[in-house]
């Protein structure tokens, strides 16, 4: 990919990236700005999302593909979640009868860890070909196959002729390589670059065609809304890689421009496309809420030569949605929120709630880098100081933070906040609307509905207990983060 980037987000050459920190937002902004945000690690950590999950999720819905997970059985547990999303996506797209993704797990065991799992991998690849006859066979690596040193690339090269015309694509998403799960997305795009696009020429540019890179968490209704908005200003979309195909991947070099729906999805790949093919790209914010959608659309329009069309369209949308947002504002004004999600959705959601007159009092983000710094500066100007937790799935810190901040609503994965009796909803909903102009109203109503109907979570808090003692709630939520 761009430069020497090897798919590990902590090591990107052009930005400092932090994964462990907690404190006030102004302090984060100031220290990062002076390049003195301390390198730190957690001495106690509850869980990390493995990057293999992100690679699997990104590619599992490729319609002409089969997948070999080269790992112990446990690592492939995430495939059942990704498969559920795949089935829901098919149902929303009217693609019946529903089918499961074509997954084969090599099921590495103790013997393989000692003697190697290469023979099992060969067997699985041949089985994938004979059973499914796919155009693409992706191999997902794991900690185990990485640590024992199976020569996965060598086996892919060795069997390529035999299994042709299927293309074998090893994805180096060994979980131990990165604490940032979005590295798994990068591993997928590195693999697409290396094994599918290879030295494909730029070809003839298709005017008005935009590569739209979308993470698997985008619902079909959101995909339609984004494609509708772009269509309004004369842009057509090559939607990748969710529900895409080998043919769509091969169209990538002929697009006029590229953009992504999420800020941490395909950003490095788009830089690579710019370097290799001169394809311009836009990297702004996630299109959640009017102001973010305006910004996102203007970014995409600028590289496609459609700025005037976008401005005219945005002016009409503002007229259309102003009264609806005002109505939501009456219901949400002054409510205090904590937001917890992936980097893209957290920051877009945090800006959105300002449209509703709400106040941000805390948020979590898996990483802090140059992009996040810009977002935090923006939010500091909007809200003043708020609590920031940089971490990947740390529920013990989250409950402590929520106990102290006592927000009116928690926007994020609700499991822990609900057990504190706090109304909850989320912006990461793969099954319902979130993005663009039309879906803003759905999202606002969802927040308002939860605030006006808190009974369910109150009952959960009354009858369920969390495993923490009062002493933990009295303590510093970030006490296990130590400078290194
Ligand atoms: S690849 Fe590694 S981190 Fe990921 S699930 Fe398997 S053992 Fe865990």
Q: Where are the domains of the chain?
A: 51-197, 206-311, 321-483
Does 50 sit in the ligand 1 pocket, CB within 6 Å?
A: yes
Model confidence at 3: pLDDT above 60: no
| Number of Cβ within a 10 Å radius of residue 21 | 23
Strands 255-260 and 359-365: unpaired
**24 is written with which tokens?**
């006030």
pTM value surpassing 0.75: yes
Q: How much is the average pLDDT of 25-52?
A: 90
Q: How far is the CA of 380 from the centre of ligand 1 (A)?
A: 36
Contacts (Cβ under 8 Å, ≥6 apart) of 113 = 144, 148
Does 159 sit in the ligand 1 pocket, CB within 6 Å?
A: no
Model confidence at 22: pLDDT above 90: yes
Does 145 sit in the ligand 1 pocket, CB within 6 Å?
A: no
Does 175 sit in the ligand 1 pocket, CB within 6 Å?
A: yes
Range 321-483 classified under CATH 3.40.50.1980: yes
Instruction: Give the span between the Cα atoms of 483 and 399, in whole angstroms.
Output: 23
| Number of Cβ within a 10 Å radius of residue 264 | 26
- Tens digit of pLDDT for each residue in 118-131? 999 999 999 999 99
Does 76 sit in the ligand 1 pocket, CB within 6 Å?
A: no
For the stretch 37-40, contacts whose Cβ atoms lie closer than 8 Å and that sit 24 or more positions apart, written own/partner, are 37/368, 38/483, 39/483, 39/484, 40/481, 40/482, 40/483, 40/484
Q: How far is the CA of 54 from the centre of ligand 1 (A)?
A: 12
Nearest-CA residue for atom 4 of ligand 1:
175
Q: How much is the average pLDDT of 103-114?
A: 97
**How buried is 357 (Cβ within 10 angstroms: 0-12 exposed, 13-18 middle, 19+ buried)?**
middle
| Domain 51-197 matches domain 206-311 at the CATH topology level | yes
Per-residue pLDDT band at 451 (split at 50, 70, 90): very high
CATH architecture of 206-311: 3-Layer(aba) Sandwich (3.40)
Range 51-197 classified under CATH 3.40.30.10: no
Q: In what order do the strands lie in the sheet with 167-171?
A: 103-105, 65-69, 136-140, 167-171
Q: How far is the CA of 175 from the centre of ligand 1 (A)?
A: 5
């Amino acid at each position: 990919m761009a430069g020497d980037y090897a798919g590990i987000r902590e090591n990107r050459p052009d930005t400092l990236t932090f994964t462990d920190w907690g404190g006030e937002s102004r302090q984060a902004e100031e220290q990062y700005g002076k390049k003195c945000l301390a390198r730190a690690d957690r001495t106690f950590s509850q869980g990390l999302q493995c990057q293999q999950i992100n690679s699997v999720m990104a590619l599992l819905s490729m319609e002409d593909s089969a997948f070999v997970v080269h790992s112990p059985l446990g690592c492939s547990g995430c495939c059942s979640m990704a498969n559920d999303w795949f089935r829901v996506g098919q149902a929303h797209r009217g693609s019946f009868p529903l089918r499961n993704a074509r997954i084969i797990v090599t099921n590495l065991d103790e013997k393989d860890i000692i003697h190697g799992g290469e023979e099992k991998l060969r067997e699985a690849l041949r089985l994938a070909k004979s059973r499914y006859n796919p155009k693409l066979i992706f191999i997902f690596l794991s900690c185990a196959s990485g640590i024992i040193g199976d020569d996965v690339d060598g086996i892919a090269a060795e069997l390529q002729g035999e299994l042709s015309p299927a293309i074998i694509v090893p994805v180096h998403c060994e979980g131990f390589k990165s604490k940032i799960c979005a590295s798994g997305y990068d591993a997928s795009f590195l693999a697409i670059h290396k094994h599918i696009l290879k030295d494909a020429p730029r070809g003839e540019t298709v005017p008005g065609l935009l590569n739209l890179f979308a993470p698997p968490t985008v619902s079909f209704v959101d995909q339609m809304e984004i494609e509708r908005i772009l269509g309004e200003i004369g842009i057509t979309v090559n939607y990748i890689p969710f529900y895409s195909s080998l043919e769509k991947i091969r169209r990538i070099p002929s697009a006029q421009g590229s953009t992504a729906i999420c800020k941490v999805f395909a950003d490095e790949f788009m830089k690579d496309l710019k370097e290799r093919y001169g394809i311009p790209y836009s990297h702004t914010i996630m299109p959640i809420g009017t102001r973010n959608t305006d910004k996102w659309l203007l970014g995409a329009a600028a590289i496609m030569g459609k700025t005037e069309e976008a401005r005219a369209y945005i002016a009409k949308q503002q007229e259309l949605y102003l009264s609806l947002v005002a109505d939501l504002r009456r219901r949400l004004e002054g409510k205090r929120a904590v937001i917890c999600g992936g980097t893209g959705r957290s920051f877009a959601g945090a800006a959105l709630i300002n449209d509703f007159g709400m106040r941000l009092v805390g948020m979590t983000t898996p990483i802090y880098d140059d992009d996040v710094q810009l977002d935090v500066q923006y939010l500091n100007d909007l809200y003043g100081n708020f609590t920031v937790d940089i971490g990947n799935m740390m529920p013990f810190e989250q409950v402590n933070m929520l106990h102290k901040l006592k927000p009116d609503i928690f926007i994020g994965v609700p499991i822990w906040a609900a057990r504190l009796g706090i109304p909850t909803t989320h912006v990461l909903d793969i099954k319902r609307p979130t993005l663009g102009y039309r879906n803003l109203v759905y999202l606002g109503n969802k927040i308002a509905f939860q605030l006006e109907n808190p009974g369910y979570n109150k009952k959960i808090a009354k009858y369920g207990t969390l495993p923490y003692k009062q002493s933990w709630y009295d303590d510093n939520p970030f006490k296990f983060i130590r400078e290194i």
